[in-house]
């Protein structure tokens, strides 16, 4: 694949990392952090820099110059090659991770009139199957108008190969959203994946209602920090679970009514092959957490919704702690995806387990509008320079972070807001 077909005469073969260049004039190659199968492993090993061809947008696609790229778990999973090899999935011999981005539209496919070179944008990561709803490929494609009903919808930068840890990335035009005008590039790059996922989990899939109680695992993490803020906006009492009191206090600042430090419950995590004695200690810790929830709420009440993404170690607790008729909404499995739990608590109390996965374009638009109003704020804890992109992922892998993190790509420094700032810096 080369970019020569979209590069007008006079285009340079490559652009300096911080060189602004001219929107519309596309170079042939770019710098990128590249994952290949022969170096699958922890991020410091799997992410290596290479010079690769600039992707060529299709008719309904857009090429975006990356100004800053948010860090999320997709890059960690892609580099580990676990639980699946993303390279086998998309079939190209290298993968550029990155499912979050703030940037500038650099060129557009011939059908794209919504955007033009120079537009300042953020990207959402739901790649839609263009055939969805047309029933040309698959009878099941008309199960719902929601493009996520298509078995071929994909997560950009994870299941597709041209993500944002590079000078340029390629997306469908429907993935493009206007960048909040007064936000810095780094802030605008860090929220889409986690915020839109949390929004769909709570609002669309979880059907959260004012007056309800939600238990938020990883309350100070990427997903959790947004879940708490959405709950507050919705009039829902959010209780965070965290691994330190510092993180817990941060959750209260974000709007949680209280927090549980999971380190005070050392037997909380489910471990495969546990002895009867360990199982009993775990059950005792569940009761201890339940009691703590009552203390925080000031009444004997269980969470109507449990916000799950930590998976194997926490899932049985989530099912236990959830209220009668409550919902456990799950979108991930950081600690393992084979879940073991006591199903009696599920059926006897008629609880529901609900799967949720990123968000569709409508969820993203609605959530972005709420964010632009200033009522929800990204919790950006750390900004890395371009050459520390592998380290940023390593820190996430080692759970050393809090909130969201991002990496500068075209931006030479923090605090810049628009194209003019980039030109002058
Ligand atoms: P973060 O790492 O930012 O936050 C996760 C939090 O989980 C951490 O802050 C940590 O908080 C908590 N955690 C880690 N280990 C454990 C454990 N053993 N028990 C309980 N809690 C634990 O990640 P994200 O919020 O960005 O993502 C979380 C998961 O959700 C990832 O697996 C990711 O792949 C998935 N995900 C899925 C999406 C989808 O669309 N399906 C979208 C986004 C994320 P603490 O140590 O304070 O308890």
Q: What is the pLDDT of residue 168?
A: 98
Q: What distance in angstroms lies between residue 59's CA and the mean position of ligand 1's atoms?
A: 36
Task: Express each pLDDT in 290-309 by its tens digit.
Answer: 999 999 999 999 999 999 99
pLDDT at 8: 45
Residue 51 in this model has a pLDDT that exceeds 60: yes
pLDDT above 70 covers a percentage of the chain that reads 97
Distance CA(334)–CA(213), nearest Å, equals 24
Q: Does residue 282 sit in helix, strand or coil?
A: helix
> 220 CB less than 6 Å from ligand 1?
yes
Q: Is the dihedral of CA 253, 194, 32, 43 positive or negative?
A: positive
Q: Which helix (H) or strand (E) holds 76?
A: helix 73-80
Q: Whose CA is nearest to atom 47 of ligand 1?
A: 242
CA dist 150 and 357 (Å) reads: 13
What is the distance in A from the centroid of ligand 1 to the CA of 307? 11
The answer, yes or no, to whether any atom of ligand 1 lies below 6 A from the CB of 381, is no
Rg (CA), the chain: 22
Tell which one of 205, 221, 331, 367 to mutate to probe ligand 1, the residue whose CB is within 8 A of the most ligand atoms.
221
SS3 content of the chain, % helix, strand, coil (to 5): 35, 20, 45
Question: pLDDT tens digits for 205-264?
Answer: 999 999 999 999 999 999 999 999 999 999 999 999 999 999 999 999 999 999 999 999
382-410 pLDDT tens trace: 999 999 999 999 999 999 999 999 999 99
Strands 48-53 and 327-330: unpaired
Q: How far is CA 377 from CA 46, 100, 220, 402, 413, in A?
A: 32, 16, 13, 15, 21
pLDDT value at 77 more than 80: yes
* Overall average pLDDT of the 312-317 stretch: 98
pLDDT digits (tens, 9 = 90+) for 133-158: 777 877 777 778 889 988 889 999 99
Q: Is the CB of 318 under 6 A from ligand 1?
A: no
pLDDT above 50 (res 2): no
Question: How far are the Cα atoms of 102, 106, 174, 179 from residue 123, in angstroms, in the given order?
Answer: 7, 14, 9, 9
CB under 8 A, 24+ apart: contacts of 130-137: 130/60
- Which pLDDT does position 9 carry in this prediction? 47
Q: Is 243 in the pocket of ligand 1 (CB under 6 A)?
A: yes
Index of the ligand 1 atom closest to the CA of residue 74: 34
Nearest by Cα to 100 from 176, 190, 167: 190
- C-alpha 400 to ligand 1 mean position (Å): 12
- Summarised one tens digit per residue, pLDDT across range 163-178 is 999 999 999 999 999 9
Q: Band of the pLDDT at 10, cuts 50, 70, 90?
A: low
- Atom 30 in ligand 1: residue holding the nearest Cα: 332
Q: Is 334 in the pocket of ligand 1 (CB under 6 A)?
A: yes
Mean pLDDT of 272-291: 97
Task: Verify whether ligand 1 is closer than 6 Å to residue 73 (CB atom).
Answer: yes
Contact predicate 95/190, CB 8 Å = no
Q: Which residue's CA is minimally distant from atom 11 of ligand 1?
A: 218
Ligand 1 pocket, 335 CB below 6 A? Answer: yes
Instruction: For 358-374, give the DSSP string.
Output: S--HHHHHHHHHHHHTT
Residues facing residue 33 across a β-bridge? 49
What is the reported pTM?
Answer: 0.94
Question: Does ligand 1 come within 6 angstroms of the Cβ of 309?
Answer: yes
Average of per-residue pLDDT values in the chain: 95
Residue 312 to residue 309: CA distance in whole angstroms: 9
Ligand 1 atom closest to the CA of 73, numbered from 1: 34
Query: What pLDDT, on a 0 to 100 scale, did the predictor assign at position 143?
Result: 73
Would the CB of 152 count as within 6 Å of ligand 1?
Answer: no
The pLDDT value given to residue 6: 43
Q: How far is the CA of 223 from the centre of ligand 1 (A)?
A: 7
Residue 171 pairs with which residues in a beta bridge? 62
Q: Which helix (H) or strand (E) holds 199?
A: helix 192-199
Q: Is residue 1 predicted with pLDDT exceeding 60? A: no
What is the model's pLDDT at position 139?
75
Q: Pick the residue whose CA is nearest to atom 28 on ligand 1.
A: 309
What is the C-alpha separation between 216 and 224, in angstroms, rounded?
6
91-129 tens-digit pLDDT? 999 999 999 999 999 999 999 999 999 999 999 999 999
Confidence of residue 324 (pLDDT cuts 50, 70, 90): very high
Beta carbon of 250 within 6 Å of any ligand 1 atom? no
**How many Å lie between the centroid of ligand 1 and the Cα of residue 335?**
9
Q: Tell me the two tokens of residue 100.
A: 């979050």
Given pLDDT bands bounded at 50, 70 and 90, which one contains residue 7? Answer: very low
* Measured distance CA(204)–CA(355) in Å, rounded: 11
């Amino acid at each position: 694949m080369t970019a020569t077909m979209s590069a007008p005469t006079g285009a340079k073969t490559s652009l300096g990392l911080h060189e602004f260049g001219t929107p519309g004039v596309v170079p042939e190659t770019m710098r990128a952090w590249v994952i290949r199968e022969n170096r699958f492993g922890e991020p410091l090993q799997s992410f290596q820099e290479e010079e690769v061809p600039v992707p060529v947008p299709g008719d309904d696609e857009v090429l975006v110059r990356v100004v800053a790229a948010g860090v999320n778990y997709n890059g960690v999973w892609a580099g580990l090659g676990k639980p699946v090899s993303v390279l086998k999935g998309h079939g190209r011999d290298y993968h550029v991770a990155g499912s979050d981005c703030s940037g500038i539209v650099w060129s557009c496919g011939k059908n794209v009139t919504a955007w033009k070179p120079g537009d300042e944008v953020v990207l959402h990561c739901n790649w839609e199957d263009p055939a969805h709803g047309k029933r040309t490929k698959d009878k099941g494609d008309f199960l719902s108008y929601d493009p996520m009903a298509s078995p071929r919808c994909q997560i950009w930068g994870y299941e597709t190969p041209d993500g944002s840890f590079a000078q340029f990335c390629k997306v469908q035009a429907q993935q493009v959203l206007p960048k909040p005008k007064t936000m810095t590039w780094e802030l605008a790059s860090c929220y889409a994946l986690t915020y839109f996922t949390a929004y769909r989990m709570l609002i669309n899939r979880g059907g959260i209602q004012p007056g309800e109680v939600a238990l938020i695992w990883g309350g100070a993490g990427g997903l959790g920090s947004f879940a708490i803020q959405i709950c507050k906006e919705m009039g829902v009492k959010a209780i965070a679970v965290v691994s330190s009191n510092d993180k817990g206090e941060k959750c209260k600042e974000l709007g949680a009514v209280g927090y549980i430090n999971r380190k005070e419950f050392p037997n909380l995590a489910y471990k495969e092959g546990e002895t009867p004695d360990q199982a009993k200690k775990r059950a005792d810790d569940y009761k201890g957490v339940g009691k703590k929830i009552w203390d925080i709420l000031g009444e004997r009440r269980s969470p109507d919704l449990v916000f799950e993404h930590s998976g194997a170690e926490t899932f049985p607790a989530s099912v236990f702690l959830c209220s009668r008729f409550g919902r456990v909404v799950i979108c991930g499995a950081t600690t393992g995806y084979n879940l073991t739990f006591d199903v009696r608590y599920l059926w006897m109390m008629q609880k529901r387990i609900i799967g949720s996965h990123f968000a569709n374009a409508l969820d993203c638009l609605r959530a972005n509008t709420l964010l632009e109003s200033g009522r929800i704020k990204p919790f950006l804890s750390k900004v890395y320079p371009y050459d520390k992109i592998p380290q940023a992922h390593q820190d996430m892998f080692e759970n050393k972070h809090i909130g969201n993190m991002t990496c500068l790509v075209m931006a030479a420094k923090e605090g810049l807001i628009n194209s003019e700032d980039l030109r002058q810096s």
